[in-house]
Structure 1
Amino acid sequence: MSLAIPAAWIRVALLMFAVGWGANQFSPMLIVYRHELGLGPGEIAGLFAIYAATLIPGLLLGGALSDRVGRRACVLPFAALSPLATLLLILGPHDLALIAAGRALAGLCSGMVFGPATAWVLDLSAGDAVSARRAALALSAGFGLGPVVAALLAQWAGDPLVVPYLPHLALGAAALAVGLTAPASPRPARAQPVISSRAASDAAPSGADLAGGQARTDPADGAGQSAGRPAAPPAPLRTRAFWLGVAPAAPFVFGTASLAIVVLPEEVTSAQSLSAGYAGLMTALAFGAGVGIQPFARRLAGRSPHGGIIAGLGCAAAGAAVSIAAVAQVSRPLAGVAAVLLGLGYGLSLVSGLHQAERLAGPRDRGAVVACYYVLAYLGFAMPYVADVLNAPLGKPGTFALLAAAAVILAGLSWLRGSRIARAGQAAVKADRTTWAAAARRGGRPEVRTAARPRSGA
């Protein structure tokens, strides 16, 4: 294989790594702000909410926009703004308004970069499970190393409100310089016809190999949509394959990570003894495990699309179960074991979910589909708030027990639905290919039928 191809996707992956670093370096700094500025729980929650308030719109806008104007036009400007968001945090270490502005800009940059950049990496890659792992690895490495380095510098370097942010300024500038040389995504081939309502709604990712390995794409969606025509969600986002096969487990991606790096450190330490260094250690354990499992997750996703999600949910359930003992005994070693298990769940779920989203999407709507998946995955960052609400009626061990049970139930449902949908999808795809071939022999085109709207509770 020519070295030019991997060199291309690596340049884009470096941008994802740098923006991910800048997005998550703030996590251990919340502890520093709590101690140094005397911030209360409401102010800490507000800083997180500001980030989420700009992240979600950025994801929704960036993915669809990149399908229309190109990946470079979306990614590069906001990759350049990411270090500026960090600069705001440096310029106003004691100014809550500047800190909030920095977090808001960081959230917008993350949203506008993560979806389009993931699609860009997939465009420049081989189009199999390896491409999903490349994007997941770049994002996970940034998410993991950013807070670890920030925590170490905050714990042992001088000026804990400024020094931890300096590495991201250099990294962001270097990544942008490299990313500017990345080639644009190849122009997609003419879109394949949409498969029938049954196939579009029932086919699982494992059955999405329709024509030359390309998943279904609606010619009316994505690039080339006529001006003035109302934008419709891409065809894959109107299928049960996405909403029942991919979406339910997506919040567990960052839900498991947030349990490991936010909830557990607080549950096994007191507010006075919780340090940025310990938070950094828990982050290193969780994201280290998440990155380490991704090669296996890639192979598992290639063999069994639903298998990776089931394995990820299983690790999430095991991590929550160990967390019960860690919280009950206030044990830091057990919390570390739980962080590793939760990190494994994060890595397996992220790679498998991205792989399924990629298989469902075509090149013309890949950005929007991946961005929608990230939106669902980012809902998991609300897990600390969910845990806090559940602690009152259930107690801390009861909260983790409920989360473990939810993961087990979802894993079982995913296994059952995966088996049924795979069989139905293969039959439906075969029927649609037959219809298309018959129409082609007649010299015409079969009627293009859009995907049925998912039925509630289906």
Structure 2
Amino acid sequence: MSSSPAVAVAARPRARLPHPVAFTAVAVIFVLFMAASSVPSPLYVVYQQEWGFSSMTLTVVFAVYVLGLIASLLVVGALSDHVGRRPVLAAAIVGEAVSLVLFLVAGDVSALFAARVVQGVATGAAMSVLGATLVDLNPPHAPGRAGVISSVAPTSGLALGALGCGALVQFAPAPTHLVYALLLAGMVVALLLTAGLPETSARRPGALASLTPRLGVPARLRPDLFALVPILISSWALGGLYLSLGPSVAAGLFGMSNHLVGGLVVTLLCGTGALTSLLLRRAPVGAVLQAGAALLAVGMGITLAGVLADVLALAAAGTVVSGVGFGASALASFGTLARLAAPAERGELFAVVYVVAYLAFSIPAVIAGFAATSAGLRPTAIVYGFAVGGLAVLAVIVQSVRAARR
């Protein structure tokens, strides 16, 4: 009889975070993952100086991260729809922690490659489950909040990671170690938060089958997704350029060798995007999509004028305008899909969207890296800018046609 209270305590279900607190915790973890993914960008210049590799090698290091991320999305993107959100998120956090340890001990390019591959796999596993969990936990009184956070978290995380790393590299000791140690501590906290999250996806059969790489979108969602493809490609291709070569362009074309400035280049784009998403969260989706695409094109044109004229202020102003377009595009894209997808469709749908986004994020940037090595940074940046601007114009046309048909 004396053991029954202990049995009762052991049988009592573990306390979970209330849904509003859990929603906030998931958003914070999302920002942390994206901050970790952008941290290497200001460090690439440092690694180049220490290890003496080319811009081509730099973009290959950038690309292996994206390859790992896309492979992870394809394999485990729908897994949380079957085994639950918490197990997949916990595994992703552990993987991210392993990658940060690899960064801490990296001493050459091969170690950097390994760290970025592991980080890509972990981030890919996290992104789709985080996006789906936000929708699951979305407060009933604010039906669009999950879409807003899904658009704000990536851009704000990228901005915070790049700016924070740039500041640490410029002003703090151990520039290639301290930032990773801080992120590692953050991942420990994220794992503790994950243990307290309520499970929002019931277990259902098909977990092993879901690991077969595939991209599937329910037929009823395809028209909406296809209409978003041009703006996804143009906005994420622009982000890929800034995160892979942005600091190098600032140093090589404008002579800005300060590492904080290298981080600020990324922050001007992504931070402006995050702020825009917050400010426009209640605006009509169709109008936001069209405005986002138009501002991407206009901002790219201003940036190109700054590069051609060697006027840093003009290039920076163009980056801010492009950032507004970047944030508006992300807000409207993820907001549209978050509202349309049913609970059992969310993991796989977000995986598809992120695959499209990160292919656009990586492939043009890799091509630009090869081109920069052979043709130089300036012509590469100019051609890349014209391509992104053209895609943004196409996105404006697609959204205008779709609005007219409606």
TM over 0.5: yes
1:81 aligns with 2:61: no
Larger radius of gyration: 1
Which structure has more RCO (C-alpha within 8 Å, separation ≥ 6)?
2
**Which of residues 276, 283, 301 in structure 1 aligns to 2:266?**
283
Q: Relative to structure 1, is the Cα distance of residues 269 and 139 closer, same or farther in structure 2, using a 3 angstrom cutoff? A: closer
Q: 1:342 corresponds to which residue?
A: 322
Shift of 1:134: 1.8
Q: 1:253 corresponds to which residue?
A: 235
Q: 1:26 corresponds to which residue?
A: 40
Q: 1:308 corresponds to which residue?
A: 288
Shift of 1:224: 4.7
Shift of 1:187: 4.5
CA contact (8 A) 1:237 1:243 kept: no
322-331 or 237-246, which moves further after superposition?
237-246
**Which of residues 94, 117, 129 in structure 2 aligns to 1:116?**
129
Aligned pairs for 1:38-437 (under 5 A) are: 38-92=52-106, 94-126=107-139, 128-185=143-200, 187=202, 223-224=204-205, 234-236=216-218, 239-270=221-252, 273-300=256-283, 303=284, 305-382=285-362, 383-387=364-368, 395=379, 396-397=381-382, 399-420=384-405, 422=406
Shift of 1:95: 2.7
Report the Cα distance in structure 1 between the residues aligned to 2:170 and 2:210, rounded to whole angstroms: 55
1:13 aligns with 2:27: yes
Q: Relative to structure 1, is the Cα distance of residues 359 and 245 closer, same or farther in structure 2, using a 3 angstrom cutoff? A: farther
Q: Relative to structure 1, is the Cα distance of residues 121 and 277 closer, same or farther in structure 2, using a 3 angstrom cutoff? A: same
Structure 1 residues without counterparts, runs of 5 or longer: 189-222, 423-458
Q: Deviations over 1:403-441 (max 9, x none)?
A: 323311221222212332x3xxxxxxxxxxxxxxxxxxx
One-letter amino acid matched to 1:250 = L
CA contact (8 A) 1:152 1:277 kept: yes
How many residues align? The count is: 381
Q: Relative to structure 1, is the Cα distance of residues 267 and 103 closer, same or farther in structure 2, using a 3 angstrom cutoff? A: closer
Q: Secondary structure in 2 aligned to 1:293?
A: helix
Report the Cα distance in structure 1 between the residues aligned to 2:210 and 2:351, rounded to whole angstroms: 22
Q: Relative to structure 1, is the Cα distance of residues 409 and 228 closer, same or farther in structure 2, using a 3 angstrom cutoff? A: closer
Q: Deviations over 1:299-318 (max 9, x none)?
A: 12xx3x33222221112101
Shift of 1:63: 2.0
Q: Relative to structure 1, is the Cα distance of residues 226 and 347 closer, same or farther in structure 2, using a 3 angstrom cutoff? A: closer
Q: Relative to structure 1, is the Cα distance of residues 235 and 96 closer, same or farther in structure 2, using a 3 angstrom cutoff? A: closer
One-letter amino acid matched to 2:82 = R
Report the Cα distance in structure 2 between the residues aligned to 1:344 and 1:298, rounded to whole angstroms: 13
Q: Secondary structure in 1 aligned to 2:343?
A: coil
Q: Deviations over 1:232-263 (max 9, x none)?
A: 86553675414422223212332232344444
Shift of 1:181: 0.7
CA contact (8 A) 1:317 1:405 kept: yes
One-letter amino acid matched to 1:276 = H
Q: Deviations over 1:11-31 (max 9, x none)?
A: 222221222121111111111
One-letter amino acid matched to 2:232 = A
Shift of 1:264: 4.8
Q: Deviations over 1:48-106 (max 9, x none)?
A: 121112110111222211111111121111112212211111112x2322221111110
Q: Relative to structure 1, is the Cα distance of residues 307 and 95 closer, same or farther in structure 2, using a 3 angstrom cutoff? A: same
Report the Cα distance in structure 1 between the residues aligned to 2:206 and 2:230, rounded to whole angstroms: 30
Structure 2 residues without counterparts, runs of 5 or longer: 1-16
Higher share of residues assigned helix: 2
Shift of 1:137: 2.4
One-letter amino acid matched to 1:367 = G
Report the Cα distance in structure 1 between the residues aligned to 2:356 and 2:97, rounded to whole angstroms: 26
Shift of 1:274: 3.8
One-letter amino acid matched to 1:132 = G
Report the Cα distance in structure 1 between the residues aligned to 2:210 and 2:164, rounded to whole angstroms: 48
Q: 2:10 corresponds to which residue?
A: none
CA contact (8 A) 1:21 1:147 kept: yes
Q: Deviations over 1:324-358 (max 9, x none)?
A: 11111122212211221222122111121111222
Q: Deviations over 1:248-300 (max 9, x none)?
A: 32123322323444445444542775442211111222222111111233212
One-letter amino acid matched to 1:172 = M
CA contact (8 A) 1:261 1:286 kept: no
